[in-house]
Amino acid sequence: AQKVTQAQTEISVVEKEDVTLDCVYETRDTTYYLFWYKQPPSGELVFLIRRNSFDEQNEISGRYSWNFQKSTSSFNFTITASQVVDSAVYFCALSLGSGYSTLTFGKGTMLLVSP
Amino acid sequence: GAGVSQSPSNKVTEKGKDVELRCDPISGHTALYWYRQSLGQGLEFLIYFQGNSAPDKSGLPSDRFSAERTGGSVSTLTIQRTQQEDSAVYLCASSSGKGTATNYGYTFGSGTRLTVV
């Protein structure tokens, strides 16, 4: 069975600080996908990124960056120069190799960015 | 439609009543998923439909929960004899199953917030 652990329940930072959200996953499969979603107060889940298990290249998108390390089964998410609008719950998730596989989510990390 | 539509957005029901939650997926998406988000919990998988295949019901918490998908499109999640522990946000997602470099095709609706009093 798959498992995703987000050990940080809640993080509070002041605007412009950098913040890293941790994600550790467990699976016996060799083909899998990792995701990050953002859930703002409005409630809708917003897709941020997908990585497959064969691509460990780190990714940067604006102020967001992701560090995928298979050796430690981690897929951490860093927000650089955080902004108030980044305040949300962030979920890490995993799906197996099938294109239609269900997502296994972590319990989420609530990020609060204060002005 | 442009996105996944769920209705109602909010539902308050009395304990013991049945409720139906509706999900309208993105047109052409063959896969449809239901998840439940309880307070302080992550998203819990409930059920998954893929085309004409038998649904994966492995996540349904009890036999009071059932779901159907008509014509490969709209889905209804039914909870019978609701209990207070059923209070949660029920999220629906659909997927084309086709990945691109930036999107794996899962799109979530805004959810139905169910409160059982």
Q: Is the pLDDT of residue B79 over 80?
A: yes
Q: Is the pLDDT of residue A46 over 60?
A: yes
Give residue B98's pLDDT band: very low, low, confident or very high (50, 70, 90): low
Q: What does the alpha-carbon distance between residue A28 and residue B15 come to, in Å, rounded to a whole number?
A: 41
Closest by alpha carbon to B18, among B81, B67, B110? B81
B106:A103 CB<8 A: yes
Measure CB to CB from residue B108 to each of A45, A99, A102 and give the nearest one: A45
pLDDT score recorded for residue A51: 87
Chain A nearest-CA residue for B38: A107
pLDDT score recorded for residue B71: 81
Measure CB to CB from residue A47 to each of B40, B106, B111 and give the nearest one: B106
Give residue B101's pLDDT band: very low, low, confident or very high (50, 70, 90): very low
Instruction: For the sheet with B65-69, list strands across it.
Output: B5-7, B19-24, B75-79, B65-69
Q: Rounded to 5 degrees, what are φ and ψ at A80? A: -95, 140
Q: Is the pLDDT of residue A6 over 60?
A: yes
Instruction: Report the pLDDT averaged over residues B71-87.
Output: 94
Contact B8/A at CB under 8 A: no
Q: Is the pLDDT of residue B102 over 50?
A: no
Q: Is the pLDDT of residue A85 over 60?
A: yes
A20-24, A30-34, A63-67: least confidently modelled range: A30-34
Closest by alpha carbon to B59, among B16, B25, B90? B90
Q: What does the alpha-carbon distance between residue B53 and residue A27 come to, in Å, rounded to a whole number?
A: 25
Average pLDDT, chain B: 89
Q: Is the pLDDT of residue B72 over 80?
A: no
pLDDT score recorded for residue B104: 59
Give residue A31's pLDDT band: very low, low, confident or very high (50, 70, 90): confident
pLDDT score recorded for residue A98: 58
A100:B99 CB<8 A: no
Measure CB to CB from residue B104 to each of A33, A104, A106 and give the nearest one: A33
